[in-house]
Structure 1
Amino acid sequence: MLKLFRMLKPYRVGVVLVLLMVFVQALAELFLPTLMADIVDKGIVNSDIPYIWQIGGIMLGVAMIGMLCSIAASYLSAKVSLGFGRDLRSRVFSHAQRFTLKEFDKFGTASLITRTTNDITQVQQVLTMMLRMMAMAPMMMIGGIIMAVSKDAKLSLVLVVVIPVLALLILLIGRSALPLFKAMQKKIDRLNLVLRENLTGIRVIRAFGREDSERDRFDHASSDLKDTAIRVNKLMALMMPAMMLILNFSTIAIIWFGSIRIDAGEMEIGNLMAFVQYAMQILFSLIMVSIIFVMVPRASVSASRINEVLDALPDIEDPTQPSRPSQRGRLEFRDVSFTYEGAEAPAIEHVSFEAGPGEVTALIGGTGSGKSTLVSLIPRFYDVSSGSVLVDGVDIRELQQEELRLKIGYVPQKALLFTGSVTENIRYGKQSASDEEVREAARIAQAAEFIDGLDEGYDAPVSQGGSNLSGGQKQRLSIARALVRRPEVYIFDDSFSALDFKTDARLRAALKQETQNATVLMVAQRVSTVMDADRIVVLDQGRVAGIGSHDELLRTSDVYREIVSSQLSEEEMGKRAEEGMS
């Protein structure tokens, strides 16, 4: 947690002012019992009314100073802790933005959300308490001990017995609570994961009638968290009654032994009253420490989880001396292999091919053949295990990630849209795009017709995830988002699967004109989508099973013929073969 508190440097003035206000408040509260003792021993005993009014006025002034300092300290500590929480959230978010998919797979989306929200809130709350209570408690305890000893040193021996007992109780409970707090944070992760899956997969859940089982799964995760929270709270519930019991017995002991000393003429009544108040201040300062001990273990767990994110170095880093490309738009895979972390077998093995500007290169293969994995290596979502991927004649590991991705227009397999308008989603590919560029990209992507049909046209709202649009509409907007960028390399990762054959054909014809000077890499499941490509790369279990045109592969690749025969009739295959012969 101390590592995170280094981020308090911009707020050091506020921290110093809080500590100063707390110090003045502590002095004021420590001074009040002495003034009260003077009123009793000098004013009341001697029936000196003017003296009582005089000291009473001073007490009122001291109490007002303490109150104002308390208000100022509360305001400043809240301001410092909230600013710290905001900065820490921004830092965690910015750092996570640099993660590769490998780090996202490691932490998990639900856990990263918990760490950015719940965990940071825990640390923020403890910081507020530390600035107030943790600063106040030692001041009150040390000051109280000094003032109590000054009133009666022998009576202070009661505190010598009580304070270690309280400290030991706090330590034992704190040590017992720490493992439970760790378990709680993990169970919050689990609850978030179940909730997120339930909300995002609600259509599938309802389609298969699995509402009851999902409700049971959520209840199990929620009950698991509840049980652990109850165990923690039972443990914490023991602390306050035990401390109050010790506190009350301490008060009885002080009054008992104090009355003996008063009877012997060794102590005055006012000093005994002041001593009781100082003893209460000392013991309450320990109670404040116990409250912090309730919060600190959980916050320390949260802090370690936040530090795990901040200490995680992205698997992919920019080179210190990036290379400068000498070509434009040429893509090459050179003996590329890739294995997912923890996987037993490579997803891609010894893949080599080239794709140049003005060419359409298609990737086709069965489910799990490695098509999407292959294209995810180009923007460096993952780094190759061996071999190299070259863009513009340069190994992508020698390029700045931002520079590399500016060259690429990527359309993912699952169309993902953001909340906002249609225009904002298309302009996501190029922030500076004009309205005319946005409309042109939509026209090429065959999206203009359905956009014009919306009530608000290009200003029509897009709900979260594009849930108010059909699958085909979302895919066309994703394609328009890539087109507006006018990149050197287009990657279409099975981006036409939700389109009907007529729209698919119109879109490919429009793309052919638009991408004449760019390299196009197209992943597809349908043979009709790839059969006109300049080059088709057939993948089978992560390996290249053939490269060539449609007609060449029909003659040379068994895997490709099997794919074609499963989708096209013999008549269509024969017709295509005759066209190729002529």
Structure 2
Amino acid sequence: MIRQLLQSVREYKRDALISPLLVAIETFIETMIPFLMAGMIDKGIVPGNMGYIERLGVVMLIGAFISLAAGAGASWFSSAASAGFAKNLRQDLYYHIQNFAFEDIDHFSPSSIVTRLTTDVMNIQQAFQMSVRMAVRSPLMLIFSIAMAFSVDAEMATVFIVTVPVMAIALSIIIAIGRPMFKKVYQRYDGLNQVVRENLRGIRVVKTYNRSDTENDKEKVASSRIFEIFSKGERILQLNSPIMQFVMYGTLLFLAWFGARRIVGGTMQAGQLVSLLAYAMSVLMSLNMLSNVFNQLTISMASAKRIVEVLTYESTLKSPTKPIMAVPNGDIEFNQVKFAYEDDHKERLSDINLHIKSGETVGIIGETGSGKSTLVQLIPRLYDVNGGVVSVGGNDVRQYDIRTLRDNVSMVLQQNVLFSGTIAENLRWGNADATDAELVHAAKLAQADTFVQSLPDGYDTYIEQGGSNVSGGQKQRLTIARTLLKNPKILILDDSTSAVDTHTDRLIQEAFNAELPTMTKLLIAQRI
């Protein structure tokens, strides 16, 4: 899992490696300062040797400046590395999702995918930054401080042999209990995103039916479920704070008590006790930082698993090793086709046999839920059959390169959308190289040119997200025009003139018959 995630570091690898190196320099100098301070007290202040104090003071001042510069540099490089890593991780997720089939999107759900691209990636970013800085600093400080404490007074330093394992065991138990809860947290975030997404998409319906209170209640329930599990997990993780403080104060009391007795007995100098107390604080601070690192890693571990689950998910639809790169004609054939959705054990299509010759126009009519859309979605491989064969141009659709197949089998879906941008930009989704004349011709065939020309900016009119500033019928005509620009061999209109009046519907069909005689046309409709 970690190896999969680290593949997204790429060009920020240098920054990610420089930061731990600078942290090591910073930490080493920090742990040397108490040792030098002990020498200053015992060899400079107590005997009154000002020359020694001044020389050691200069060394400590230079060390402090170097440590400060190294710490600032580590923060700079770790921030750049973590931000770049998160950027690449989002891109990798997004690009991978683009290859998903409809069935794959159904498997994860859109709201879950949004959570993984936002909240989960943010958690991973924070964990990565902490890993290249604090996760390096804490163990190094722990090791350096214990080593220096033993060099000062090995007998007194044995206290760390007891305190460090106690903290480690307590931390392990806390993490083991808290980790499963955070996996549930992000599943509940998916539920909240689903509520928000549905509300925003259906805001006009919510307002029309005055159901704002109902939607508020749904959001309140989703938020409460997140609060319930998240607060419980956080409370468990925060138990490490009182345990750490108990161990820390116990260690300081032990060192102060026995150190004072040894100073009085003449077996220890004051400077040694001061440095031991400083090292004790460093050890316990490093343990505290480690606990924070483990807390963040525990929280992010659930996010990491969810992200890797998407990155390693193999799409159910792939181009074959040696694909067919050309569709010869618009023939369509279904031979003993069977199909059922992944999470639905009911067979939606059973033993379908159908042959449509190239250039034919075929109408498909049936009651809601009878499988009309399911039938046509098998032709461009939006889903794959569970049994039998769907052929286009005499070849099994699974033998074609997917891009080639879909360039030649264009489909206007029931819920087609327009994207933010001008009308011309939306139409060029069908053909990025289409000329203005080709845009107008396609719009005329779809009976969209008249209303587009009536707009103040014509084809440069800006379309809001989802096409919210055009009517349902206008949106349908624009999506048909967009599809025609691909000049496919097969055109499928899946109830895509339902919002168009009957007169305009007839004009569209007449234009198709006159201008596109060789194109195979499948028309799904509710009205005969």
Deviation of residue 241 (structure 1)?
3.0
Aligned to 2:288, what secondary structure does the other structure show?
helix
1:17 and 2:23 equivalent?
no
Distance (whole Å) between structure 2 residues aligned to residue 325 and residue 415 of structure 1: 26
Deviation of residue 207 (structure 1)?
2.7
Distance (whole Å) between structure 2 residues aligned to residue 502 and residue 271 of structure 1: 97
Please say if residues 329 and 392 of structure 1, whose CA atoms lie closer than 8 Å, have aligned partners that are also in contact: yes
Q: Which residue of 2 aligns with 1:42?
A: 43
Distance (whole Å) between structure 2 residues aligned to residue 368 and residue 20 of structure 1: 63
Aligned 1:207-286 pairs, distance under 5 A: 207-286=208-287
Once superposed, what is the RMSD of the aligned Cα atoms?
Answer: 1.5
User: TM-score of the superposition, structure 1-length normalised?
Assistant: 0.88
Distance (whole Å) between structure 1 residues aligned to residue 13 and residue 467 of structure 2: 45
Q: Which residue of 2 aligns with 1:165?
A: 166
Distance (whole Å) between structure 1 residues aligned to residue 376 and residue 497 of structure 2: 16
Q: Which residue of 1 aligns with 2:512?
A: 511
Q: Which residue of 2 aligns with 1:573?
A: none
**How many matched pairs?**
527
Aligned 1:230-379 pairs, distance under 5 A: 230-323=231-324, 327-379=328-380
Distance (whole Å) between structure 2 residues aligned to residue 73 and residue 514 of structure 1: 66
- The change in CA–CA distance for 1:326 and 1:211 in structure 2 (over 3 A counts) is closer
- Bigger Rg, which one: 1
Please say if residues 325 and 404 of structure 2, whose CA atoms lie closer than 8 Å, have aligned partners that are also in contact: no
Q: Which residue of 1 aligns with 2:154?
A: 153
Please say if residues 325 and 393 of structure 1, whose CA atoms lie closer than 8 Å, have aligned partners that are also in contact: no
Aligned to 1:154, what secondary structure does the other structure show?
helix
Deviation of residue 247 (structure 1)?
1.1
The percent identity for this pair of structures is 39
Deviation of residue 315 (structure 1)?
0.9
Deviation of residue 378 (structure 1)?
0.8
1:383 and 2:418 equivalent?
no
Q: Which residue of 2 aligns with 1:180?
A: 181
Shifted more, 473-482 versus 34-43: the winner is 34-43
Q: Which amino acid aligns with 1:207?
A: T
Deviation of residue 249 (structure 1)?
2.1
Deviation of residue 2 (structure 1)?
1.6
Deviation of residue 302 (structure 1)?
0.7
Distance (whole Å) between structure 2 residues aligned to residue 99 and residue 220 of structure 1: 31
Distance (whole Å) between structure 1 residues aligned to residue 325 and residue 407 of structure 2: 14
Please say if residues 329 and 391 of structure 1, whose CA atoms lie closer than 8 Å, have aligned partners that are also in contact: yes
Q: Which amino acid aligns with 2:71?
A: S
Please say if residues 119 and 303 of structure 1, whose CA atoms lie closer than 8 Å, have aligned partners that are also in contact: yes
User: TM-score of the superposition, structure 2-length normalised?
Assistant: 0.97
Deviation of residue 361 (structure 1)?
1.2
Render the CA deviation track for 1:302-321: whole Å, top value 9, x for unaligned.
11111111222111111111
In the alignment, structure 2 segments of 5+ residues that lack a partner are: none
Please say if residues 330 and 359 of structure 2, whose CA atoms lie closer than 8 Å, have aligned partners that are also in contact: no
Distance (whole Å) between structure 2 residues aligned to residue 76 and residue 513 of structure 1: 64
Deviation of residue 236 (structure 1)?
3.0
Q: Which residue of 1 aligns with 2:448?
A: 447
Aligned to 1:367, what secondary structure does the other structure show?
coil
Q: Which residue of 1 aligns with 2:129?
A: 128
Render the CA deviation track for 1:212-251: whole Å, top value 9, x for unaligned.
1111111011111112222223223332233123212211
Distance (whole Å) between structure 2 residues aligned to residue 237 and residue 335 of structure 1: 61
Distance (whole Å) between structure 1 residues aligned to residue 69 and residue 224 of structure 2: 45
Deviation of residue 324 (structure 1)?
5.5
In the alignment, structure 1 segments of 5+ residues that lack a partner are: 528-582
Give the ranges of 4+ consecutive aligned residues of structure 1 lying more than 6 Å apart after TM superposition.
none
Aligned 1:538-549 pairs, distance under 5 A: none
Deviation of residue 519 (structure 1)?
0.9
Aligned 1:556-575 pairs, distance under 5 A: none
Q: Which amino acid aligns with 1:182?
A: K
Deviation of residue 326 (structure 1)?
7.1
Q: Which residue of 1 aligns with 2:55?
A: 54
Render the CA deviation track for 1:321-380: whole Å, top value 9, x for unaligned.
123557322222222221112323311122222223332111111111111101110111
Render the CA deviation track for 1:84-115: whole Å, top value 9, x for unaligned.
11111111111111111111111111001111
Aligned to 2:154, what secondary structure does the other structure show?
coil
